[in-house]
């Protein structure tokens, strides 16, 4: 019987970490009303906590990439899980709003920033020379699974008991279950288990996490591929976490859809999001990642066109299915391209810049449509703006060159020299 390669254990643990830590982050909406009542806050003040969280999370990402290079992904993920667990647990003791800003806006956000796909992506690069797309897909599915399990779970616990008991349960989950699993089972490199990566050792990637060179950050900024990956990923954040996670439910209510229909749409979106993540990862191992991204951004634009004209429940549900399939499906092919274009640089740092761009887009996607709605009384203009941005993202991916072609050209230049 063939022994299971330890790389799959690494992927499973990273999936669990993202499920739990990112699930806590995505559960923020469940606590909005309880915190408003507990601390006599208005919705705008509570929203400032979310805005601060986006900013702290985003700014932390390039720094986390550097820390992964220095300390290793295992240490960064473990300490970040502990910080998130302690911070969310400690909120049960707070007595004033400033403590909430400190513990959630800073503590939880820094922990979530560390236990993100920056560190987990480095582990995938180290453990997989082949089947990376599938590994990235399984890992990223942790985001969707956290959304499906911890968000409704938190809502139910708050409804049945209290928000204080809920944060205690979330904190204990991270500190008692997830942290020990990370410490016991995660390993930074296959050599620590006397194994090779799946697909065999690739010389140029054997120490991918530690290849940062003097001036390499500046060199990355000068590369055309850097901006053609970063800018579409900013648009990705604008149209997913920013726009839809913040404004889809209010839009649905504005159109007169019942809570049951709206809940069904959100659940369908989350379920098909997981399916889309896994499917895109599998396809990325077999097809051009840049072509996949071009297709995904175009389909996302089409889905928002459907949403604009969703005046019947079946159209809203149809939108949820289509948008869900292409929601986080862009992550795996984007990370695949990053590991291919920047294999001679710090992978952690590059993923960190991508994540920062995504968070900037998310913050803008939450704020700008809200301003547009305040001025116009509807989301139509915001949706058309998003469609135009997605078309631009699709075009930018067409402008990218295939990594294999770039490698051939590079080898040809080297041989001439």
**Given this model, what pLDDT does residue 402 score?**
85
Distance of CA 370 to the CA centre of its chain: 22
Residue ranges and CATH numbers for the domains of the chain are 1-187 (1.20.1250.20), 216-407 (1.20.1250.20)
**Given this model, what pLDDT does residue 314 score?**
92
pTM, whole model, 2 decimals? 0.75
**Given this model, what pLDDT does residue 335 score?**
83
**Given this model, what pLDDT does residue 212 score?**
43
**Given this model, what pLDDT does residue 44 score?**
64
Return the ∠ at Cα 284 (arms to 279 and 288), rounded to 5°.
Answer: 135
Question: What does the DSSP assignment read for 8-37?
Answer: HHHHHHHHHHHHHHHHHHHGGGGGHHHHHH
Q: Which residue has the tokens 């300390």?
A: 71
Q: How far apart are CA 249 and CA 245, in angstroms?
A: 8
User: Is residue 118 within 8 Å of residue 68, measured between CB atoms?
Assistant: yes
* Helix 331-341 × helix 117-127 angle, to 10°: 60
Q: How far apart are CA 308 and CA 304, in angstroms?
A: 6
**Given this model, what pLDDT does residue 139 score?**
87
**Given this model, what pLDDT does residue 129 score?**
84
User: Residues 6 or more apart from 341 whose CB is under 8 A from it?
Assistant: 223, 225, 226, 229, 403, 406
Distance of CA 136 to the CA centre of its chain: 11
Q: Which residue has the tokens 């003791």?
A: 93
Q: Which residue has the tokens 């399916």?
A: 275
Mean pLDDT by 10 residues, the chain (417 residues): 83 94 82 82 72 83 84 93 95 89 90 88 87 83 83 83 93 96 92 84 47 57 88 94 80 81 82 88 85 95 94 92 92 86 77 86 84 86 96 94 67 49
Q: How far apart are CA 201 and CA 120, in angstroms?
A: 19
């Amino acid at each position: 019987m063939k022994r299971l390669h330890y790389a799959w254990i690494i992927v499973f643990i990273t999936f669990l970490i993202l499920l739990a830590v990112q699930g806590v982050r995505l559960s923020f909406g469940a606590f909005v009303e309880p915190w408003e009542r507990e601390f006599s806050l208005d919705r705008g003040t509570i929203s400032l906590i979310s805005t601060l969280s986006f900013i702290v999370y985003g700014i932390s990402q390039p720094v986390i990439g550097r820390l992964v290079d220095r300390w290793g992904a295992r240490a960064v993920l473990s300490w970040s899980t502990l910080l998130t667990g302690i911070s969310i647990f400690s909120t049960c003791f707070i007595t004033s709003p400033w403590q909430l800003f400190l513990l959630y806006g800073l503590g939880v956000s820094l922990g979530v920033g560390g236990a993100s796909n920056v560190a987990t992506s480095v582990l995938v690069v180290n453990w997989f020379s082949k089947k990376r797309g599938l590994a990235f897909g399984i890992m990223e599915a942790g985001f969707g699974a956290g959304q499906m399990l911890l968000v409704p779970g938190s809502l139910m616990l708050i409804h049945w008991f209290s928000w204080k008991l809920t944060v205690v349960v979330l904190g204990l989950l991270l500190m008692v279950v997830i942290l020990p699993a990370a410490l016991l089972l995660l390993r930074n490199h296959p050599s620590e288990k006397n194994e090779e990566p799946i697909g065999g050792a690739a010389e140029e990637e054997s120490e991918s996490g530690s290849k940062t060179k003097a001036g390499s950050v500046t060199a990355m900024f000068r590369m055309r591929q850097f901006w053609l990956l970063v800018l579409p990923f900013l648009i990705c954040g604008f149209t997913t976490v920013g726009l839809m996670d913040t404004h889809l439910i209010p839009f649905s209510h504005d159109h007169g859809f019942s809570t049951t229909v709206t809940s069904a749409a959100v659940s369908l979106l989350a379920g098909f999001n997981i399916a889309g993540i896994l499917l895109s990862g599998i396809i990325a191992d077999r097809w051009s990642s840049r072509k996949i991204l071009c297709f995904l951004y175009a389909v996302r634009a089409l889905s928002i066109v459907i949403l604009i004209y969703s005046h019947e429940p079946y159209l809203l549900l149809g939108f949820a299915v289509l948008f869900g399939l292409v929601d986080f499906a862009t992550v795996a092919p984007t990370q695949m391209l990053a590991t291919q274009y920047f294999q001679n640089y710090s992978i952690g740092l590059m993923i960190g810049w991508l994540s920062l761009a995504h968070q900037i887009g998310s913050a803008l996607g939450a704020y700008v449509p809200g301003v547009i709605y305040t001025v116009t009384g509807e989301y139509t203009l915001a949706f058309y703006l998003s469609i135009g941005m997605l078309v631009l993202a699709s075009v930018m991916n067409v402008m990218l060159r295939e990594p294999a072609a770039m490698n051939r050209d590079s080898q040809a230049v080297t041989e001439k020299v």
